[in-house]
Amino acid sequence: MSGDALEEVLEIANRSFSNPWTREMFENEYLKNPFSEQILVRCEGKIGGYLFMMSLFDECHILDFAVEPNLRRKGIGNKMIAYLIEKMKMKNVRKIFLEVRHSNLPAQSLYQKAGFIQIAVRKSYYSNPKEDAVIFQWKLPEEG
């Protein structure tokens, strides 16, 4: 990820979240975490969405994911999640986890359409405003 891409990712994060990741958090993920990967989607020459994940052994954790607000509901998020799932299948990842705000029903719908199921709730996980997190899991279907 280039410096220009980081600037665009920061802008999307700031427009998407009440408590977005900082520059340092993004840099730590893509420069210092050997298990971190990113998916960036370009739309008309600009970044339209990003997804930061960490995969280790047979698990993947979506760490941060956003689509440019004025590009939402155009299928970008669906395509990014579908790409992530296919990429993780190729790496023999069997489970993908993520947290989402309890009030973020559009995101929850996106994950459910992709086959994620709710497995737990983390009380007061988010701040600004304080809110529970819903934990979702996608699981590779058992062969047999």
Preceding amide of 69 cis, omega within 30? no
Query: Which one of 11, 27, 59, 99 is the catalytic residue?
Result: 99
- Is residue 142 part of the annotated active site? The answer reads no
Cα(41)–Cα(33) distance, integer angstroms:
21
Cα(44)–Cα(99) distance, integer angstroms:
30
Query: Which one of 111, 126, 142, 143 is the catalytic residue?
Result: 111
Cα(50)–Cα(68) distance, integer angstroms:
9
- Is residue 111 part of the annotated active site? The answer reads yes
Residues labelled as active-site residues: 99, 111
